[in-house]
Structure 1
Amino acid sequence: MVAQWIAEALQAYTGLTPGAAATILALMLATYLLVSSLFVAPAAPSPAAPPQQPREVEEEEKEEEKEEEEEPTMPFVFPDPVEVGEVTLEQLRAYDGKDPAKQILIAIRGQVYDVSRGRLFYGPQGPYSLFAGRDATRALALMSFDPNDLTGDLDGLSPDELEVLQDWEEKFKERYPRVGHLARQDAAGNGRNAAQPDHDAGDA
């Protein structure tokens, strides 16, 4: 009954027979499905696998990790400043940084400074290693790396060069402890203007 009533109503309103109406409805549904499939978002691509490292690189990295775990790096401990008192130039050369158990000493205007904390600069591989264990007075005044200038001789230095030396001396006083002084014969023998300051008279 109901089916017959629907068929009569469909024919009255559309003028189509039930078969024609069913065919049109099927075509509309097929068209809808076809059009919908065109707008479906494509499937997200699977994440690419990370590039494989060469086996040699992987093995090296593993070995480095093992070494770090087995042998933790120990920080370098600088020796505490030790008063050396009066030293000769010959004795001063033993403190050139090559022996890690000893301080690194540099003399300026007869004063001896412990520059061990500046090992990166004054140690055996440092850019200023030439000055370690030596009297660097003239070399610093001239900003020279000539071994012949590693002396306390101030003869012939200009006022500007003496001012440069004064600046270096002030920097050393601020950064490094004074641990002694050169023997008077060495400090005076390298140049008539290389006498020690008056306060050295009381040093041991």
Structure 2
Amino acid sequence: MVAQGIAEAVQAFTGLSTAAAVTILALMLATYLLVSSLFVAPEAASPSPAPLPKSTQLRQEEEQKHEEKEEEEQQEEKEEPAAFVPYPESVQLGEITLQQLAAYDGKDPSKPILIAIRGQVYDVSRGRLFYGPQGPYSLFAGRDASRALALMSFDPIDLTGDLEGIGPDEIEVLQDWEDKFKERYPRVGHLASENATYGNHNDA
């Protein structure tokens, strides 16, 4: 009885049969759902950002690992007894040749660990966990690491101050490394002029 009453009311109100009214209602509902789906969660429909080039990702991962390890090392040093001297005291060396620099590769615990970047020599002894004999960057110790740092390369052939063929992106990476060295490690000398094949450099 109720259903028949509803059907008669629909027919009287719309002039349509019950089946026709139900069909039109279903079509209207489907249209509403279709249109509304076009306007929800616009951020979900936006394309995801393009992935970084693999070389840039590797470079960022290396720099992040370096940052994290340095923070861990600094924390460990704070926890060490004050009487314990973890690394040799820095000594100003002035002008130094590449041959002399090679003696400061961290293998002799009585000597500081030195690395040259664009002609400037830094005492990185406090970063011995990175640059010491067992460290991940030990290859750079006692060497001019300019080209290797610019390219984020661990190939011994890149352990040179020669920046020929290095692009602006790599120079920017090298500048970031140099800024970090200036901030964290004392500068104790500079390479002799005959070894200064490191291109343009502005001393700070």
Q: Same fold (TM over 0.5)?
A: yes
Q: Unaligned stretches of 5+ in structure 2? A: 1-82
TM-score (norm 2): 0.57
Contact 2:86 2:126 (C-alpha < 8 Å) held by counterparts:
no
Rg comparison, structure with higher value: 1
What SS does the corresponding residue of 2:189 show, helix, strand or coil? strand
Q: Is 1:149 paired with 2:149?
A: no
Runs of 4+ in 1 over 3 A off after TM superposition: 195-199
Contact 1:109 1:152 (C-alpha < 8 Å) held by counterparts:
yes
Aligned partner of 1:94 in structure 2 is 103
Q: Which moved more, 1:146-155 or 1:76-85?
A: 76-85
Percent of aligned pairs with the same amino acid: 75
Q: CA deviation at 1:171?
A: 0.3
CA distance change for structure 1 residues 147 and 166 in 2, over 3 Å: closer, same or farther?
same
Query: 167, 177, 183: which one pairs with 1:168?
Result: 177
What SS does the corresponding residue of 1:101 show, helix, strand or coil? coil
TM-score (norm 1): 0.57
Aligned partner of 2:144 in structure 1 is 135
Paired with 1:153 and 1:129, the residues of 2 have a C-alpha distance of 20
Contact 1:187 1:195 (C-alpha < 8 Å) held by counterparts:
no
Q: Is 1:194 paired with 2:203?
A: no
Contact 2:105 2:141 (C-alpha < 8 Å) held by counterparts:
yes
Q: Unaligned stretches of 5+ in structure 1? A: 1-73, 200-204
Paired with 2:183 and 2:176, the residues of 1 have a C-alpha distance of 11
Aligned partner of 2:186 in structure 1 is 177
User: What do you get for the CA RMSD once the two structures are aligned?
Assistant: 1.6
Q: Per-residue displacement from partner, 1:36-91 (whole Å, max 9, x unpaired)?
A: xxxxxxxxxxxxxxxxxxxxxxxxxxxxxxxxxxxxxx945311110011000000
Q: CA deviation at 1:144?
A: 0.1
Paired with 2:121 and 2:135, the residues of 1 have a C-alpha distance of 19
Q: Which moved more, 1:76-85 or 1:154-163?
A: 76-85
What SS does the corresponding residue of 2:133 show, helix, strand or coil? coil
What is the total number of aligned residue pairs between the two structures? 122
Aligned partner of 1:3 in structure 2 is none
1:4-23 correspondence to structure 2 within 5 Å:
none
Paired with 1:88 and 1:194, the residues of 2 have a C-alpha distance of 17
Q: Is 1:108 paired with 2:113?
A: no
One-letter amino acid of the counterpart of residue 91, structure 1 = Q
Q: Per-residue displacement from partner, 1:6-44 (whole Å, max 9, x unpaired)?
A: xxxxxxxxxxxxxxxxxxxxxxxxxxxxxxxxxxxxxxx
Paired with 1:97 and 1:104, the residues of 2 have a C-alpha distance of 5
Q: CA deviation at 1:195?
A: 4.9
Contact 1:110 1:195 (C-alpha < 8 Å) held by counterparts:
no
